[in-house]
Structure 1
Amino acid sequence: MTPPTEAAPAHAHAHARAAVDVLTELATGDQGLSSAEAAARLARHGPNRLPDPERESALRRLLRQFRDPMIYVLIAAAVLTAVLGEWVDTIVIAAVVLTNAVIGYVQEGKAEDALEGIRQMLSLDAQVRRDGAWQTVPAEDLVPGDLVRLSSGDRVPADVRLSRASALRIEESALTGESVPVDKGTDPVAADAGVGDRTSMAFSGTVVAAGSGTGVVTATGQDTEIGHITTMLEEVESLETPLTRQMNAFGRALSLVVVVLAVVMFGLGALLYDYTLGELTLAAIGFAVAAIPEGLPAVLTITLALGVQTMARRNAITRRMSSVETLGSVTVICTDKTGTLTRNEMTVRTVVTPAGRVDVTGTGYAPEGEILPAGTTTAQHVLALAEVAARANDSTVSRRGEAWVLSGEPTDGGLRTFALKAGVRGDDDARVDAVPFDSAYKYMATLDRTAHGTVVHLKGAPDRLLDRCDSQGTGPDDTAPLDRAFWEAQIDELGARGLRVLAAAARRADDGATSVSTEDVDAGGFVLLGLYGIIDPPREEAVAAIRACRQAGIRVKMITGDHAGTATAIAREMGIGESTVTGAELETATDEELRTLATEHDVFARTSPEHKLRLVQALQANGEVVSMTGDGVNDAPSLKRADVGVAMGIKGTEATKEAADVVLADDNFASIESAVEMGRTIYDNLRKAIVFILPTNGAQGLVILVAVLLGLTLPLTPVQVLWVNTITAVTLALALAFEPSEPDIMRRPPRTPGGSILPRSGLLRIGYVSVLIGGATIAVFLLGQEAGRGVAESRTVAVNTLVVAQICYLFASRFSRTSSLRRELLTTNPVSWVCVAVMLALQLLFVYAPFMHTAFGSTAVGLTDWLVPLGVGVVVFAVVEVDKALRRR
């Protein structure tokens, strides 16, 4: 009675077998399973739910913040100073390290939770036949072989092979990307049919839009199609972002150079001079602390956090900070169609009457727009089509606040809106009887009492209506002969434009008629009134956004589960392209062939989740930085794999939101363009911050290195070095995070993936500014010593020289290409002046507060002692401005 392998073959090809064969294989009869048998299968297959995801603990998240080569060097420095008993140094270094870690921990936010989002899509209860009776059980208790019953509005509780379907239509857009509900039946389909074409199946997590049905459960939990996507999510690796890769490489290289130079300096100092072990160790620690930009991780984190806040104000919620910057580096945006590029609101775009074509303006379910007759088309022709659209219709559209909301099927909603635009509301009380839509005969008919008598109104598939019409015109009494060739040509033309085509017809009925049936309709004698061309319209703002992305050197590719004709038409209208590849072609392509297809084509139709994931991987294999946008469960694996995944916040599923890096609160593709601009701006500002911070470290490292190699007293102590590094990073460098976008930011091509974060010009500037400031600092210290000043006073003036020079260098760094001697220096970034004021206030505290003298070994100096640092700063500013002027030439 319970063969051990009953679920395997049924799950593998249930859609291709007759329903009776699947029932036999699952050892299920008309009365369903017994309670005992269901319990045995539940024990064998497990509950109908997805496994809990492994969560990262808060402690592991905190410890991960310390995984940075530069932080390792600082931790080692803190340990060594503690061993030497230099507790002030130890405390200051440890405080900097901990502050960086806490900032990263707080800003990073919660970890990914894609599996939980998918799990919430499973229904809570199911109608199942057990022990010969229908009963309600928790969906978790379903097992392969259970008979389940589906009704309109139900969420399908498991993968089901249908054995009975009555006008059953299921909304599968979250799983397949199909923009309209799918007609379901019981006939087997081809074994190699894609998920979207398996009309004999109902899939877990999808929603019954209309009708009813019964079927046998073939797969539960992780064996379902949604479960398969879950497995893909577990197997998909989240890639490091370009910024993360570049910063990690930069940190490793810098840390290695610093450690090597510190060891060399230690050895040469021991060989050439009579330094004690403690003095050399402190000098080596001072050099490491000087050369390591310990403030850089904090500046990076804060800059990204500011970008996150800016994007949130622009309706883009960023779940992982580095993703904002990554959007700025993308070279390809892969986007779903339904609900992302389009409104996911079916709209009648064109109608065809016997007298000609009529264009309809307006989008969505708001009855706003115009009907523009062409040629000899009269208002009577349009009213005839509107009458059928209003009466052979079970949907309603109503205004709720500022939005128009549909109740019913999207296609019916589009027809209802068209009727309202034509001024026809329809009268529900006038309906006498109806034949509901069924995929078996593909039409809907209503018997209505109108002011002109009793009429049968008919709408449905054009081929089915053409077979039942023998004349054409504007009403049920017209007798003009049917021009079938004309209508078939019109149907082909509308279909080629990607429009879904429905036909409308009418026939006079007896005034005493009280019912209508399929037999009545199939008897024929109808008058064909015309055709409706329906489409899920593109978002107008998305068209402009795609144009802007192209201008910025970013390719946009559409990857959808919808049919090729529809995808091609939308892509053409969006300005994406017309060269379309189908899922069947992707299925047979090797990985190498797929890389070529992904490069040469921009439209991919009838794709499965596996196809989307493979396309993203193929593009990444070609060296592209890929963003993937989407709103359905079928998009979740590819969103997770992409360099940055973008989910729709309103119509997107929870699974998609949790797998994504960025969630668009307004479901507006145009917001991605804003994110790209913000990402590029952030990257520019980070590059400016690095080119600004590193000369401080270079100058300080040079000061200590030269002092040791020449056998001099150290012009700076380790804690003084740390003071300058820290306050410079959290004040002056932070000011660069507020720099606005440069005018040409969206006219530049994407930066080369994998390239260095620093351009050659930046490296050169770091070099000469480091030498300039470092040399000036050594000279100031030595001049103070020669003048007979104490070490503390000479060091204080040396620290002031570093600080004032950095302030002047900030003004030169705010504009990386153009001159800083311009009005914008004063007007475009007021935060920079606040940061300068804070920096000066802190430095005055360093110089004149007694407790700072104790902590940092500083001392008070006279007013004239500030003139030399100011002069050094002016020289630094002038040299950088001359360099920029030469480069512009």
Structure 2
Amino acid sequence: MTERPSPDRPDAAPATAWHTLTRTQVEEALRSGKDGLSETEARQRLAYYGPNRLAPPKRRGPLLRLLMQFHNILLYVMMGAALITALLGHWVDTGVLLAAVIINAVIGFIQEGKAESALDAIRAMLSPHATVIRDGRRREIDAAELVPGDLVALASGDRVPADLRLVAIKELRVEEAALTGESLPVEKTTAAVAADAPLGDRYGMAYSGTLAVYGQASGIVVNTGATTELGKINQMLADIRSLATPLLRQVDRFGRALALVILALSAATFVLGTLWRGHAPAEMFMMVVALAASAIPEGLPAIMTVTLALGVQRMAQRNAIIRRLPAVETLGSVTVICSDKTGTLTRNEMTVQKVVCAGHVFDVGGVGYAPVGDLSLDGRIIDPEHYAALALAIRAGVLCNDARLREDEGLWRVEGDPTEGALLVLGGKTGFSQHLGDEAWPRLDSIPFESQHRFMATYHRDSDDMPWIFAKGAPERIFDMCDAQWGTDGSEPLDIDTWRRMATNVAAQGLRLLALACRRAAPRGASLDFGDTESGFVLLALVGIIDPPREEAILAVGECHHAGIRVKMITGDHVETARAIGAQLAIGVGKPAVTGAEVAVMDDAALRRMAMEVDVFARASPEHKLRLVQALQDDGQVVAMTGDGVNDAPALKRADVGVAMGLKGTEAAKEASDMVLADDNFATIATAVREGRAVYDNLKKFILFMLPTNGGEALVVIAAILFELALPLTAAQVLWINMVTSSTLGLALAFEPAERGIMNRPPRPPGEALLSGFFVWRVLMVSVLMMTGALGLFLWELDAGTSIETARTMAVNAVVAAEMFYLVNSRFILAPAISRVGLSGNRYVLFAIAACIPLQLAFTHLPLMQGIFGSNDLTPLEWAKVLAAGLLVFCVAELEKFVIRRSPLAARLNHA
């Protein structure tokens, strides 16, 4: 909608703070009332505001996606060389060059990410239908036809169809975890709240895409389509551009620098050869093509894809499903992990952890909904039956309860309120099940929980036909109903100050509190009513409930800290709960917790400073999460973000690695992510980081293995041109070497297992160059060794009268033999290869060498290959000379490692 609302139209601009207005003010602003809108008015508003749906995103067609794969400077060089070789009629060279280009482009096209489908997942969250009141009549319509001012009726099980200002409520509770991160259903009211109240505290609002899980309500539509909170998130997603991963940025910089060097070297060689040496331009150009072909690492994109794909496979075995290939390596360079709390660091299963009775504080073991765990007092496991107040409190929690605990295929699930489910689990741990309670203590009547009364009460008779009334609810409300407490000797006077102090202490630990009480009496009338609950109750216990941290998450956070990775918790939950969970996980200990409201008033510079200092963020909205991720990235951090709700989707897409939950995550979160945790477990992230570091190590080893090959070939060609020698390697032979060694020998390094101590290193600096000074030295050294062996053998054979075809064949085989030996060197950057682990620790190295040998025999002795590449048969003596050239590289490389291991440089290289 481009025009602003006109004076005769209701102003439903998204900037209106509807949560601050009363029902009367909302009705006046939107010209609505108890009979809703008229059909005529609704049609006019629909034409004005547009349908209540989210606009589809702009998509890039498959042809454009394919063409973009060729947008790579190394591929430009190769395509240019292919074009000129075709003009000169060298079709074999043209075919080999184009084959390498096309293979790399097709692989990139297949692996391109599909983050746009996150927008489809958010649109799918919109309710397809809505119950609306128009002209005073209730009817069901397509939710897309809703307009601002419509009066909508909600019932338990309905998905909220638009943003509503609630005007009438009957015990409405809304599941908002996907939007706000709140772990429990939110109790709604009609009261207005402050303008700066966080999204999760706007109790008079019901937002599009959330779910009504209990009760009924009616509300006035205040925002539809793109102006809803869901629509804002959708727009944020559409506006976010995915960042290139650290590896892709490094490879891009490396590729540009290498291409410039190759082009400059080729141009200089061409000029020197034609102007200084007087060679014909056509002949000189073919030499330059051979030089460029020898220097371009054609196999790098393919080997990157294979290495990353192997990482994907290994991670899938550890419950980490990779959706975007480069995310595999990015995990290895992560410096900060921003994690949602509910369901990721915690189980998303409310659990009773403490029961406070008069004179005793009991700890409850076990986590989650499985009824397994012991009760302990001062570290000693106890039998609840020996403590009358405790036993009766557990019984009250099970009986005064509307939830159901069920086992389904070995998994325990709660149907109903999670807090009530926690009380059922406590009963199961102590042997008092819901089924047993229903049989021995049948419920005769009840007063359901209502927000204005803040308690629930039930009437029972025990097996001796004695009457009991049990009550549970907010501690302050239950305290008012009690005039006694259950002590060690039965009922005794209530010490209210002690109970209030205990309630404060337990709440300070981040636990949600419920109070339990009983009265040994029957209702005064025919049914239980509020007159029976005014007084006369005996206080049994306070129960502390929390969504506990996963035990494996505690260990994983410790492992991340040990690996130099900062872990930050960003949640929509309350600050006290976030701080308590953070302390149990060793996140943010001794530091303040910051709320979303505080984040909102900070400028970017202040937020960037604070984001690195603080580790716990509470009451965070989607905008706050996105700003925090951006602030960390602006500080140079590589950020992984975990989440499960639609509120996490923008931050997941913006992060360097977005990690969604597979079991309890929304489709919007999964589609915006790069990785999905099949087990919703933070510990899986730590495992994935280990795999990511191993992948990066293997890519570095491959580059360290590949570049000397290209460097050695290039030096051979340059020396031949400068010294007016016959060309030892043709362009086709160079491409044969590169393709064979990359597809067989180089591929073996992708299977290297993670080295010991890989998680003891700090994350690599995000701006680190792909080639360090040491790597450049190693590349130059091995390149010179390969050039010495190949060119020396070539000149020796020519001097002995051998044909140029045979001499070239020996030079090609000398380079490949040197690479076979150097492959064994490359398994470890500094560690010796002459050991049992070095020689046999990666069986794929042996397989690769075994596969490369017949290829080289075919290149040398097969007539078809001799016709294509100009090779020739070799004698056993000539093969022996080839092996000697390869051994030269192996021996000198191992000697260099030996010298460096005993120098101060070794410690720095091992640390890196």
Report the more deviating stretch, 810-819 or 101-110.
101-110
Q: What is the TM-score when the length of structure 1 is the normalising length?
A: 0.97
Deviations 1:382-435 (A, max 9, x none): 221112211221111111111001111111111111122222234447222222
Contact 1:167 1:436 in 2 (8 A): no
Query: 1: distance between equivalents of 2:447 and 2:115?
Result: 51
Letter in 2 for 1:542: A
* 1:757 pairs with 2:770: yes
Which residue of the other structure, out of 77, 81, 84, is the alignment partner of 1:80? 84
Name the structure 2 match of 1:573: 584
Q: Are positions 1:417 and 2:429 aligned together?
A: no
Distance (whole Å) between structure 2 residues aligned to residue 245 and residue 308 of structure 1: 20
Secondary structure in 1 aligned to 2:343?
coil
Aligned counterparts, 1:300-315, within 5 A: 300-315=304-319
Q: Using the TM superposition, name which of 342-351 and 373-382 deviates more.
A: 373-382
Q: Tell me which residue corresponds to 2:21.
A: 17
Q: Displacement of 1:594 after TM fit?
A: 0.9
Q: Which of 36, 41, 44 does residue 37 from structure 1 map onto?
A: 41
User: Which secondary structure does the structure 2 equivalent of 1:809 belong to?
Assistant: helix
Distance, in Å, in 2 between the alignment partners of 1:28 and 1:5 is 12
List aligned pairs for 1:318-329, cutoff 5 A. Answer: 318-329=322-333
With the length of structure 2 as denominator, give the TM-score of the two structures.
0.95
Q: CA RMSD in A?
A: 1.8
Q: What is the rounded CA distance, in whole Å, between the counterparts of 2:177 and 2:487 in structure 1? A: 36
- 1:112, distance to aligned residue in structure 2 (A): 3.5
SS at the partner of 1:651?
A: coil
Q: Give the distance between the partners of 2:189 and 2:674, measured in 1 at CA.
A: 39
Does 486-495 or 387-396 show the bigger shift?
387-396
Give the Cα separation in 1 of the matches to 2:879 and 2:172: 84
- Native 8 Å contact 1:7 1:219 kept in 2: no
Task: Give the structure 2 partner of residue 198 of structure 1.
Answer: 202
- Go from structure 1 to structure 2 and tell me whether the alpha carbon gap of 1:467 and 1:160 turns closer, same or farther (over 3 Å shift): same
Q: Which residue of 1 aligns with 2:234?
A: 230
User: Aligned ranges for residues 574-589 of structure 1 at < 5 Å?
Assistant: 574-578=585-589, 579=591, 580-589=593-602
Structure 1 partner of 2:756: 743
Give the match for residue 165 of structure 2. 161
Per-residue Cα deviation, 1:718-773 (whole angstroms, up to 9, x for no partner): 00000001111111111100000110100001001111112222110100111111
Aligned partners of 2:196 and 2:597 also within 8 Å: no
Following the alignment from structure 1 to structure 2, what is the Cα–Cα distance between the partners of residues 478 and 456? 17
Q: Does 1:393 align with 2:401?
A: yes
Q: Deviations over 1:137-186 (max 9, x none)?
A: 12222111111111112111111100111111111111111111111000
Q: Counterparts of 1:501-540 in structure 2 under 5 Å?
A: 501-510=513-522, 513-521=525-533, 523-540=534-551
User: What is aligned with 2:348?
Assistant: 344
- The CA distance in 2 between the partners of 1:627 and 1:46, in whole Å, is 38
Q: Distance in 1 between matches of 2:828 and 2:244?
A: 30
Which residue does the alignment assign to 1:447?
A: 459
Matches within 5 A, 1:181-580: 181-373=185-377, 378-426=386-434, 427-428=437-438, 430-451=442-463, 452-473=465-486, 479-510=491-522, 513-521=525-533, 523-578=534-589, 579=591, 580=593
Question: Within the alignment, does 1:146 sit opposite 2:150 as a pair?
Answer: yes
State the AA in 2 paired with 1:770. Answer: S
Whether 2:673 is the aligned partner of 1:660: answer: yes
How many Å separate the matches in 1 of 2:529 and 2:88? 97
Matched with 2:182 is: 178
Residue 695 of structure 1 is matched in structure 2 by 708
- CA 1:146–1:511 in 2, change beyond 3 Å: closer, same or farther? closer
Distance 2:45 2:888 in 1: 83
Q: Tell me the distance in 1 between the aligned counterparts of 2:86 and 2:115.
A: 36
Gapped regions of structure 1 (runs ≥ 5): none
CA distance in 2, matches of 1:768, 1:751: 25
CA contact (8 A) 1:11 1:218 kept: no
Please state how far the C-alpha of 1:281 moved relative to its aligned partner.
Answer: 1.0
2:68 paired with 1:64: yes
Query: What is the aligned-residue identity percentage?
Result: 50
How far 1:514 sits from its partner (Å)? 3.6
Distance of 2:428 and 2:651 partners within structure 1: 40
Amino acid at match of 2:202: R
112 and 841 in structure 1: CA distance in 2 versus 1, 3 angstrom threshold: farther
Match of 1:884 in 2: 897
Correspondence for 1:639: 652
SS in 2 for 1:446: strand
Asked whether the 8 Å contact 1:557–1:603 carries over to 2, the reply is yes
CA offset at residue 274 of structure 1? 3.0
Q: 1:613 touches 1:641 (CA, 8 Å); kept in 2?
A: yes
Between the aligned partners of 1:274 and 1:315, the Cα distance in structure 2 is 64
Unaligned runs of 5+ in 2: 903-912
Report if aligned partners of 1:56, 1:111 keep a CA contact under 8 Å in 2: no
Contact 1:180 1:410 in 2 (8 A): yes
For 1:626, give the aligned amino acid: V
Corresponding position of 1:607? 620
CA contact (8 A) 2:474 2:515 kept: yes
Quick one: distance in 2 between partners of 1:270 and 1:213?
Answer: 87
8 Å contact from structure 1 (residues 383, 424) kept in 2: no
* Alignment equivalent of 2:818, drawn from 805, 812, 820: 805
Partner residue of 1:822 out of 835, 848, 862: 835
1:549 to partner: Cα distance = 0.4
Q: Distance in 1 between matches of 2:13 and 2:820?
A: 73
Does 366-375 or 578-587 show the bigger shift? 366-375
Match of 2:143, as an amino acid?
A
- Residue aligned with 1:405, SS: strand
> 1:622-657, CA deviations, whole angstroms, 9 ceiling, x for partnerless residues?
111111111111111111111111111111111111
Aligned position for 1:128: 132
Answer yes or no: is the 8 Å Cα contact 2:523–2:529 preserved in 1.
no
Asked if structure 2 preserves the Cα contact closer than 8 Å seen for 1:499 and 1:534, the reply is yes
| Cα distance in structure 2, aligned partners of 1:55 and 1:691 | 39
C-alpha contact 2:170 2:216 (8 A) present in aligned 1: yes
The 3 A distance-change label for structure 1 pair 2 and 78 is closer
Q: 1:717 aligns with which of 730, 743, 746?
A: 730
Equivalent position amino acid for 1:584 in 2: A
Aligned partners of 1:511, 1:140: CA distance in 2, in Å? 50
CA deviations 1:795-833 (Å, max 9, x no partner) are: 111101110011011111111121000101233211111
**Cα shift readout 1:577-610 (whole Å, capped 9, x = no counterpart):** 2321122221222211111211111111111111
| Contact 2:790 2:885 survives alignment (8 Å) | no
Q: Find the residue that maps to 1:797 and give its secondary structure.
A: helix
Q: Say if 1:384 and 1:474, in contact at 8 Å, map to a contact too.
A: no
Instruction: Give the match for residue 791 of structure 1.
Output: 804
Structure 1 Cα separation of the partners of residues 278 and 272 of structure 2: 11
1:203: how far off? 0.8
Q: What SS does the aligned partner of 2:470 have?
A: strand
Counterpart of 1:838 (choices 851, 870, 890) is 851
How much has 1:513 moved relative to structure 2? Answer: 4.3
1:440 to 1:7, Cα distance in 2 relative to 1, 3 A: farther
Worse-superposed segment, 587-596 or 319-328: 587-596
Count how many residue pairs are aligned between Structure 1 and Structure 2: 887
